[in-house]
Amino acid sequence: MNVGLDGGFAGFKLVKASKQTTYPAIVGSVFDETYGTNGHRSRELLQPRHVLYGQAAMNEASLITRVENRGWYTSKQFIDLMLAGLTELSAAVVVSADVVTCLPYDYMGMAGKVAKRLSNTYKVRRPDREEQTVVVNVIGVVPQGWAAFITQAHDTQGKRTEIIKNDHKYGMVDFGGHTTNFETMHGLRTLDGQCKSVDVGVWKVIGQVKTMIGNRYSQLHLNDHQLVEAVKAGKVMVKQREVSIASMVRRAVKPFAEHLVVQAQNLWEDGTGIDTIYLAGGGASLFGDAIAKAFRDITKPLDDVDLVYANAIGCYRYALKLAQKRQAQDG
């Protein structure tokens, strides 16, 4: 099967033809005493390592290990999460996956290393299922924002669309949890020297909101996941009463949004010479308005694509394109 994989710092996203899945990018260990007491968890792997992942890790793990630097993309936790996703996409005894994945632009120097590290044959076991053999073949590693951009250039069958013109210049901003990627393209080609990753994303806002909530409602203790949900919804429950935190979120977003606008202006000045700027990523709903205001008339949402899944969908469509190219060569 062809698979697009976006293993973000905040969330894992995997896409194949007929199915997609996402879960928080969290892996937790289970100590023996706790294992078995709650029955099997839906997001649990027994093999190659016994771990809980996603929501289950957040709620029940005894110990959570987070990697928050470029080592993430070659970490054991990354492999756990990739195998977890592939076995969510397929319950077959032998799963053979041709994977395209994506990295922040500034990490593309490690693309070969990532492809080599992830490509392997794994024995995987989930609770209540026979052991699965998962053959991972990484056939492409592309920059994150470019992956989201390619969703406009290739349709669901991997065929070239009319939307992206070869003689137009495009900007792309992908707002993640940890990083925001800025890319400039001429047609489909990325323009080196006009792309960058910035270490500002939704987590900065979450950190600020956490402090603000702590100051205002000292009795309220929210874990990271609950904080993200509160920021998304713009409200929290205090003593069984719904309280709006929308203005808090706006205040927390403002300085980071301004920082990201300046980063974009450093690349694109006032936007003259850029035909369209596209926005993607989970942070687009928080930071997107500021970019749209700074680059009026040329900022557009991606057509027909869930912004959180945009990179993974782009990786999937690119995998289709590579498969077609290979077939044409073989045939």
Q: Which residues bind ligand ATP (CB under 6 A)?
A: 8-11, 25, 176-179, 201-202, 228, 231-232, 281-283, 285-286, 308
- Smallest separation, CB 189 to ligand ATP (Å): 22
Q: Which of 223, 283, 250, 280 is nearest to 10 (CA)?
A: 283
Question: 92: which DSSP letter?
Answer: -
- Smallest separation, CB 10 to ligand ATP (Å): 3
Q: C-alpha distances in angstroms, 303 versus 129, 148, 153? A: 38, 11, 10
Contact status: 176 vs Mg ion (CB under 5 A) = yes
Mark 293-310 as b/e (b = at least 16 C-beta within 10 Å).
ebbeebbeebeebebbbb
- Smallest separation, CB 219 to ligand ATP (Å): 25
> Which option in ligand ATP, Mg ion, none does residue 202 bind, with CB closer than 5 to 8 A by kind?
ligand ATP
Q: Phi/psi at 321 (nearest 5 deg)?
A: -60, -45
Cβ proximity to ligand ATP, 30 vs 57, nearer residue? 57
Task: Among 8, 24, 54, 271, indicate the residue that binds Mg ion (CB under 5 A).
Answer: 8
Cβ proximity to Mg ion, 181 vs 276, nearer residue? 181
Q: Which of 138, 152, 146 is nearest to 79 (CA)?
A: 138
- CA angle at 316 for the pair 153 and 48, rounded to the nearest 5°: 160
- Smallest separation, CB 223 to ligand ATP (Å): 13
Beta-carbon count within 10 A of 155 CB = 14
Cβ proximity to ligand ATP, 95 vs 310, nearer residue? 310
- Smallest separation, CB 177 to Mg ion (Å): 7
Cβ proximity to Mg ion, 271 vs 282, nearer residue? 282
Q: Which two tokens stand for residue 235?
A: 């409200």
Which part of the chain contacts Mg ion (CB under 5 A), choosing from 5-13, 58-66, 201-209, 234-242?
5-13
With beta carbons less than 8 A apart as the criterion, state whether 65 and 77 touch: yes
Question: 302: which DSSP letter?
Answer: P
> Which option in ligand ATP, Mg ion, none does residue 231 bind, with CB closer than 5 to 8 A by kind?
ligand ATP
Site for Mg ion in 32-91 (CB under 5 A): none
Chain residues in the site for Mg ion (CB under 5 A) = 8, 176
